[in-house]
Amino acid sequence: MLSRMSTDGENLAIELTHDEALVVFDFLTRFSDTDQLQIEDQAEQRALRNLQCVFEKALVEIFDPQLPELIEAAKNRLRDSSDAT
């Protein structure tokens, strides 16, 4: 189980079990290699749902009525400058 998340303002630290780390790594590597996001095993679904639960507990923004705008702003900050829209 993803057991906790800590924050120091701008950074979040997520603690995963070794099994979760392996499963999420494999899922992300497959996506990176194929450009297809597809869950192929129930363990992937479980690991991703656990991760979502950790985020739900840590991100106060999810209760902000301006969440869509906050997400868009975060996306804009993360994009490569050549990909910005």
Residue-level pLDDT at 9: 62
Residue-level pLDDT at 3: 46
What average pLDDT values come out for the chain (85 residues) when binned by 10 residues? 54 86 96 96 96 86 94 94 64
Residue-level pLDDT at 59: 86
**Cα 37 to chain centroid, rounded:** 13
Read off the pTM: 0.75
CB 44 within 8 Å of CB 21: no
